[in-house]
Amino acid sequence: MTETFVSYSLIAVYSAMAIYTLAFVMFAVDLARRSAESSDASAARATGLASASAQQASVMVNGSSVGGTDTLTTAGASESKIVAHSPKSLKLAMAMTVLAWVLHVGAVIFRGVAANRVPWANMFEFTLTATALIVGVFLIVQFWQDLRFLGSFITGFVLIALGVGTSSFYVDVVPLPPALQSAWLVIHVFVASLSTGFFALAASLSIVQLMQARREAGKALKLRFLDTLPAADRLETLAYRLTVVGFVMWTFTLIAGAVWAERAWGRYWGWDTKEVWTFIIWTLYAGYIHARATRGWRGSRSAWLAIVGFLAIVFNFTVVNLFFKGLHAYSGL
Amino acid sequence: MTEGDATRPSDHMDAPAPAPQSKVQQPRLNLAGYARFFWRQLTSMRTALFLLLLLAVAAIPGSLVPQITSDPNGVIAYRTNYPDTAAVLDFFQVFNTYTSVWFSSIYLLLFISLIGCVLPRTKHHFDALRASPPKTPARLSRLQGFTTRTTEADVDTTIASARRLLRSQRYRTELYGDSVSAERGYLRETGNLVFHAALVGVLVTVGIGGGFGYTGQRVVVEGYAFSNSLASYDSFNPGRFFTDEALDPYTVALDSFEPVYEQNNRQAIGQAIDFTANVTTTVRGEEPQQSQIKVNEPLSLSGTNLYLLGNGYAPVLTVRDADEKVIWSQPTPCLPFDANLGSTCVIKIPDGLDQQIGMLGFLYPTTGTLSSGALASVYPDLISPVLTLEVYEGDLGLDNGQGSNAYALNTDSLEQVAGRTSEAETLRLTPGDRLELPNDLGSVELTSIPRFVSLDVHHDPSQLPVLLFSVLLFAGLITSLFVPRRRMWVSARTDASGTTTIEYAALARGDDPNLEAAVTDFAEKHSQQLGVRVDS
Ligand code: HEM
Mean pLDDT of chain B: 89
Task: Determine which of A62-66, A117-121, A237-241, B369-373 has the lowest per-residue pLDDT on average.
Answer: A62-66
From the list A107, A102, A46, the residue with the least C-alpha distance to A78 is: A46
Least confident of A111-125, A306-320, B396-410: B396-410
In a domain, B197, yes or no: no
Phi and psi angles of residue A265, each rounded to the nearest 5 degrees, phi first: -115, -5
B351: how many CB neighbours lie within 10 A of its CB?
A: 8
- Cα–chain-centroid distance for residue A25? 17
DSSP annotation of B265 reads -
B520 and B495 fall within a common domain: yes
B23: in domain: no
Q: Torsion-angle region of residue A296: left (phi > 0), alpha (psi -120 to 50) or beta? A: left
Same domain, B296 and B412: no
- End-to-end Cα spacing for chain A: 24
In a domain, B247, yes or no: yes
Higher pLDDT, B150 or A286: A286
Gap between the Cα atoms of A278 and A191, Å rounded: 13
The secondary structure of B19-42 as a DSSP string is: PP--GGGPPPP-HHHHHHHHHHHH
CA distance A217 to A234: 15
Number of Cβ pairs closer than 8 Å across A and B? 145
Task: Measure the CA–CA gap between A194 and B484, rounded to whole angstroms.
Answer: 24
- Of B135, B300, B52, residue with least CA distance to A284: B52
* B498 assigned to some structural domain: yes
Question: Which range has the worst mean pLDDT, A40-54, A185-199, A263-277?
Answer: A40-54
The pLDDT of residue A330: 63
| Residue B364: pLDDT over 90 | yes
Mutate: best of B41, B99, B296, B458, partner A, most A CBs <10 A:
B296
The answer to whether residues B96 and B156 belong to one domain is no
Ligand 1: which atom is nearest the Cα of residue B111?
1
CATH classification of the domain holding B516: 3.30.310.80
pLDDT one-digit tens code per residue, A154-165 = 999 999 999 999
Specify the pLDDT at position A151: 95
**How far, in whole angstroms, is CA A265 from its chain's centroid?**
32
**Of residues A206, A48, A181, the one with CA closest to residue A115:** A181
B198-243 pLDDT, tens digit per residue, is: 999 999 999 888 888 899 999 999 999 999 988 889 888 888 888 8
> How many domains is chain B built from?
4
CB distance B74–A325 less than 8 Å?
yes
Exposure letters B359-369 (e unless 16+ CB within 10 A, then b): bbbbbbbbbee
Dist CA B7 CA B123 (whole Å): 9
What's the rounded mean pLDDT across residues A318-330? 75
Selected residue with higher pLDDT from B470 and B39: B470
pLDDT at B405: 75
* End-to-end C-alpha distance for chain B, whole angstroms: 27
pLDDT band at A39 (very low <50, low <70, confident <90, very high): low
CA B503/CA B138 separation, integer angstroms: 12
Question: Chain A, 142-181: which have a CB under 8 Å from a chain B CB?
Answer: 172-179, 181
- Mean pLDDT score, B355-381: 92
**Sheet holding B442-448: strands in order across?**
B326-331, B316-321, B442-448, B434-436
Q: What is the predicted pLDDT for the residue at B530?
A: 84
Q: What is the pLDDT of residue B14?
A: 76
Is the interface score ipTM higher than 0.95? no
Mean pLDDT value of segment B416-433: 91
pLDDT at B1 over 60: no
Is the CB of residue B281 less than 8 Å from the CB of residue B299? yes
Q: What pLDDT was estimated at residue B510?
A: 81
The predicted model gives B13-17 an average pLDDT of 74
Identify the pLDDT of residue B187: 93
Do residue A172 and residue B268 have CB atoms under 8 angstroms apart?
yes
Residue B45 within any structural domain of the chain: yes
Asked if A132 contacts A101 with a C-beta cutoff of 8 angstroms, the reply is yes
| Among A224-228, A329-333, B13-17, B77-81, the range of highest mean pLDDT | B77-81
pLDDT of A84 over the 70 cut: no
pLDDT tens figures, B86-134 = 999 999 999 999 999 999 999 999 999 999 999 999 999 999 888 889 8
Assess whether B438 and B514 both reside in one domain: no
- Looking at residue B528, its pLDDT comes to 87
**B69 chain-A contacts, CB cut-off 8 A:** 270-271
Q: Which domain holds residue B271?
A: 212-310+456-471
Residue, of A267 and B451, whose pLDDT is higher: B451
User: Does the beta carbon of A325 lie under 8 angstroms from any beta carbon of chain B?
Assistant: yes
On whether both B467 and B488 belong to a single domain, the answer is: no
| Vertex A141: Cα angle to A135 and A147 (nearest 5) | 90
Is residue B4 over pLDDT 50?
no
For chain B, what is the radius of gyration of the CA atoms?
Answer: 37
Strand pairing report for B235-238 and B172-176 = unpaired
Q: What is the pLDDT of residues A168-185, one digit of tens each?
A: 999 888 888 888 889 999
Residue nearest ligand 1's atom 24 by CA: B114
Amino acid B273 reads I
Whether B265 and A266 lie within 8 Å, measured CB to CB = no
Q: Based on the domain organization, do B139 and B168 belong to the same domain?
A: yes
Assess if residue B202 is contained within a domain: no
Pair (B246, B346) in one structural domain: no
Contact check, Cβ <8 Å, B56/A271: no
Residue B7: its pLDDT value, please?
66
User: pLDDT tens digit string along B452-468?
Assistant: 999 999 999 999 999 99
Residue A253 has pLDDT above 50, yes or no: yes
Q: What is the pLDDT of residue A34?
A: 83
Q: Are residues B85 and B171 in the same domain?
A: no
**Which pLDDT does position B38 carry in this prediction?**
85
- H helices of A172-299, in order, are 183-184, 190-216, 232-265, 273-292
Residue ranges lining ligand 1, Cβ < 6 Å:
A 286, 289-290, 293; B 8-9, 12, 43-45, 48, 52, 110, 113-114, 117, 192, 195-196, 199, 477, 480-481, 510
Final residue in a domain of this structure, among B124, B142, B161: B124
How many angstroms away from the CA of B50 is the closest CA of chain A?
8
Percent of chain B with pLDDT over 70: 94
Shortest CA distance from A174: residue in chain B = B268
> Residue B174 forms beta bridges with which residues?
B181
Judge whether A6 and A174 are in contact, CB under 8 Å: no
Dist CA A226 CA B408 (whole Å) = 68
d(CA A159, CA A17): 6
> What's the A290 CA to ligand 1 centre distance in angstroms?
6
Whether residues B292 and B384 share a domain: the answer is no
Residues of chain A neighbouring B294 (CB-CB closer than 8 A)? 178
Say which DSSP state B178 is in: T
Q: Please tell me the distance from the alpha carbon of residue B279 to that of residue B293, in angstroms, as a whole number.
A: 7
When pLDDT is averaged across residues A65-78 and rounded to a whole number, the result is 33
pLDDT at B209: 83
The closest of A241, A161, A209 to A307, measured between CA atoms, is A209
- Decide if B282 is inside a domain: yes
Contact yes or no for B297 and A267 at CB 8 A = no
**Backbone torsions φ then ψ of B304, nearest 5 degrees:** -120, 165
Find the mean pLDDT for residues A14-26.
97
Q: Decide which of B106, B124, B142 is a domain's last residue.
A: B124
Percent of the residues in chain B that have a pLDDT greater than 90, as a whole number = 61
Same domain, residue pair B50 and B102: yes
Q: Is the pLDDT of residue B509 over 90?
A: no
Q: Is residue B224 in a domain?
A: yes
Q: Are B489 and B518 part of one and the same domain?
A: yes
**H or E element that contains B122:** helix B101-130
DSSP 8-state class, residue B286: S
Q: How far apart are CA B309 and CA A54, in angstroms?
A: 63
B269 falls in which pLDDT band (50, 70, 90)? confident
Statement to judge: residues B346 and B216 lie in one domain: no
